[in-house]
Structure 1
Amino acid sequence: MTKIALITGATSGIGSATVRRLVAGGWLVVGTGRRKERLDGLARNFPAGTFHGAAFDICDRDATAAAIEALPPEFAAIDLLVNNAGLALGTVPAQHADRGDWRTMVETNIMALVDVTHRLLPRLIERRGAIINLSSTAATYPYTGGNVYAGTKAFVHQFSLGLRSDLHGTGVRVTSIEPGMVETEFTLIRTGGDKAASDNLYAGSHPLTGDDIADMIYWTASLPPHVNINTLETMPVSQSFAGFQVARGE
């Protein structure tokens, strides 16, 4: 039986790579995002009837509800939810951060994620499906400038564990995938389009790619239904844990 996945944030990076990987693996896929032209471009890569693009702002709860209710019947029975949409804004310490950026990260990385999840839980329970949430190594390892972004990803980690507990006995699997450095548009968005900053971050580091994470998502989703991966933490070999900080002479 063909399975159906809904992937948020499908217009770039990990999201679009995951769409490609799942369609290649025989899944039907709903991809969401704000940029309709990118969703239309994705659709042109796949056989007709294998991908449905739903263009809306995931932070708009009414638009989210309308898009989910408007799914074509052949895409409506969701077996897998991939909560990929998210972002980081700013790199400065908390005392210099923009509170608007903080609110945007909380709205996108937390509130939108829990809203989509809650709306799809009845379908996922009915299908004994799976939820894969994209967290980050920032949820575990702090770094200067991570502040609210790291806090939102720590929420995603803990929310995943809470879902796993609440969904006990339903057959629904829940996984938190927590990547380190992945070269996507992430840093461009975080720095307001500073390409030099993005290039400098990834230069010579052989970072993970969107395709790497998409393979992990596909593997996790394809495991037998009695197997649950609770948390999958991954980094490029070039990256390791941050050291402690010591301020002297204060």
Structure 2
Amino acid sequence: MSVFNATRLLGKTVLVTGASSGIGAATAILFARGGANVILVARRIDALKTVTDACIAAHKESGLNQGGKFASVQVDVSDKAQVAGLWDKVPQDLRNVDVLVNNAGYVLGVEHAGDIADADIEGMFATNVLGLISVTQLLIKDFKVRKSGHVINIGSIAGREPYAGGSIYTATKHAVRAFTGSIMRELVNTPIRVTEVQPGMVETEFSIVRYRGDTNAAAKVYDGLQPLTAGDIAEEIVWVASRPPHVNVAELFVMPVNQASATINYRGPK
């Protein structure tokens, strides 16, 4: 019977997009604790440096003598030119990436179709879909040459079922699910692994962005139940990456115990 074996991560190099906060930050730190090297990619360089410092501390605390190399890379994945120039910002000894975690993404607003600003539509697609595809295309070429690699895309319950007030976000996450499934089929004759992790309700700054900075509205999303945390999803991502090389977890759908679908949950007695 296969068991968790964190030593499979020792010395591996992981690239995480959207690494400046939330799931991306927690994932980068957990990989660091597991003995991996980590390239942290995000738009906000100050926040990114804070997370990188946390990675350094986590690796030091682990006492492991492998891994421990980290790079903060300021790149907006929605900008194709910035993605194309990513390697110019990465140290030479970290350019052989073993695991790509496509985490960058966001949702903005709860407006219904007809009332959604064009800029919001274009922004979500540019980051959640086109950015994810651009980064994947960049790395997958090298994966094919080296006959090794793992693409882990962070999808969502929103990629499994649509809901009112999320028409654009759910459309982007349905696209992520389709893209992930397609590349898995395209790479079936290679050792390259492809995974989609699909979280349900996770309490991060994600909802604050959705509600345009309204922290009260964001907090109400989680009233009465215990949502997942960024750390919960990070554990699943690192677990997926640590499977034996012949094992591919194609989809991992994870929700808090009191959530059954995008719109069905139990919030306890009033």
TM-score of Structure 1 vs Structure 2, range by shorter chain? over 0.9
1:12 aligns with 2:21: yes
Find the partner of 1:162 among 178, 182, 189: 182
**Equivalent residue number for residue 106 of structure 1:** 125
TM-score, structure 2 length as denominator?
0.87
User: Distance between the aligned counterparts of 1:242 and 1:176, measured in 2?
Assistant: 17
**Inter-CA distance 138–120: structure 2 relative to 1 (3 Å threshold):** same
User: Distance between the aligned counterparts of 2:263 and 2:99, measured in 1?
Assistant: 37
1:38 aligns with 2:58: no
The percentage of counterpart residues that share the same residue type is 39
Question: How far off its partner does 1:143 sit?
Answer: 1.3
Question: How far off its partner does 1:216 sit?
Answer: 0.3
Letter paired with 1:13? G
Find the partner of 2:83 among 56, 61, 64: 64
How many equivalent pairs are there? 244
- Tell whether the 8 Å contact from 1:93 to 1:144 is kept in structure 2 after alignment: yes
User: Distance between the aligned counterparts of 2:162 and 2:129, measured in 1?
Assistant: 18
- Tell whether the 8 Å contact from 1:79 to 1:127 is kept in structure 2 after alignment: no
1:186 aligns with 2:206: yes
- Tell whether the 8 Å contact from 2:195 to 2:249 is kept in structure 1 after alignment: yes
Partner of 1:96, secondary structure, is coil
User: Distance between the aligned counterparts of 2:27 and 2:147, measured in 1?
Assistant: 21
Letter paired with 2:11? T
Moved more, 139-148 or 150-159: 139-148
**Equivalent residue number for residue 23 of structure 1:** 32
Question: How far off its partner does 1:111 sit?
Answer: 0.6
**Inter-CA distance 194–70: structure 2 relative to 1 (3 Å threshold):** same
**Equivalent residue number for residue 79 of structure 1:** 98
**Equivalent residue number for residue 119 of structure 1:** 138
Question: How far off its partner does 1:140 sit?
Answer: 1.4
Question: How far off its partner does 1:122 sit?
Answer: 2.0
User: Distance between the aligned counterparts of 2:215 and 2:147, measured in 1?
Assistant: 43
**Equivalent residue number for residue 7 of structure 2:** none
**Equivalent residue number for residue 195 of structure 1:** 215
1:235 aligns with 2:244: no
- Tell whether the 8 Å contact from 1:80 to 1:124 is kept in structure 2 after alignment: no
Question: How far off its partner does 1:242 sit?
Answer: 5.1
1:52 aligns with 2:83: no
User: Distance between the aligned counterparts of 2:147 and 2:72, measured in 1?
Assistant: 22
- Tell whether the 8 Å contact from 2:157 to 2:262 is kept in structure 1 after alignment: no
- Tell whether the 8 Å contact from 2:42 to 2:74 is kept in structure 1 after alignment: yes
User: Distance between the aligned counterparts of 1:242 and 1:73, measured in 2?
Assistant: 43
**Equivalent residue number for residue 169 of structure 2:** 149
Partner of 2:197, secondary structure, is strand
1:12-54 deviation per Cα after TM superposition (whole angstroms, max 9, x unaligned): 0000000011000011000100111111112222059521110
User: Distance between the aligned counterparts of 1:103 and 1:54, measured in 2?
Assistant: 24
**Equivalent residue number for residue 5 of structure 2:** none
1:63-105 deviation per Cα after TM superposition (whole angstroms, max 9, x unaligned): 1221224311221100000000000011121122112101111
Question: How far off its partner does 1:203 sit?
Answer: 2.4
1:227-249 deviation per Cα after TM superposition (whole angstroms, max 9, x unaligned): 011111111111112569xxxxx
**Equivalent residue number for residue 194 of structure 2:** 174
Partner of 1:193, secondary structure, is coil
User: Distance between the aligned counterparts of 1:66 and 1:211, measured in 2?
Assistant: 30
User: Distance between the aligned counterparts of 1:27 and 1:147, measured in 2?
Assistant: 37
**Equivalent residue number for residue 112 of structure 2:** 93
Structure 1 runs (4+) greater than 4 angstroms displaced:
none
**Equivalent residue number for residue 135 of structure 1:** 155
Partner of 2:190, secondary structure, is coil
- Tell whether the 8 Å contact from 1:83 to 1:133 is kept in structure 2 after alignment: yes
Partner of 1:19, secondary structure, is helix
User: Distance between the aligned counterparts of 2:140 and 2:157, measured in 1?
Assistant: 26
Letter paired with 2:26? A
